[in-house]
Amino acid sequence: MRAVVQRVHWARVRVADRVVGEIDRGVLVLLGIHRDDSLEIASWIAHKIAGLRIFPNEHGRFDRSVADVRGSVLVVSQFTLYGDARRGFRPSFSDAAPPDKAEPLYEHVVNQLRTRHALHTEMGIFGADMEVESCNWGPVTIIIEKESGFPHVEESRTSSS
């Protein structure tokens, strides 16, 4: 799973000239689902998004999460994050999960942000042709990625001690 996380002053997504998701200060997340992704990976990504410290403290240092600043999250599905353009000029999307697998994982990330992390979370419409607008604050853009088989952060800490 791949998430491009942008700290924003505001962001919104439109479908057919209608705003379907909109936030003020917070993070815009473009979320790509890999064909091998699982609920476990989706939960991990949601946890990382919620805890990512990319908001400034009183000294201007990245030390606060979206929850710490009472910000919001806008999650937009984007299968093109798994576009492979290493050969030729037309990207291959064979690593992207098919819609019937990707949509439940996308919804799981959103539900985890809403319930487990108590964040105000908006979303686009899965599979729709969307227009995404935002005002990137900084700009600050971070890529979070987790592939199937990678150990959890907690497992890594215990194995290195």
Residues carrying an active site annotation: 78-80
The structure tokens 């093109």 sit at 80
The answer to whether the beta carbons of residues 122 and 75 sit under 8 Å apart is yes
Of the candidates 127, 72, 53, 136, which has an alpha carbon nearest to the alpha carbon of residue 97? 127
- Maximum C-alpha span of the chain: 54
Q: For 12, left (φ over 0), alpha (ψ -120 to 50), or beta?
A: beta
Please name the amino acid found at residue 22. Answer: E
Between CA 2 and CA 48 the distance in angstroms is: 11
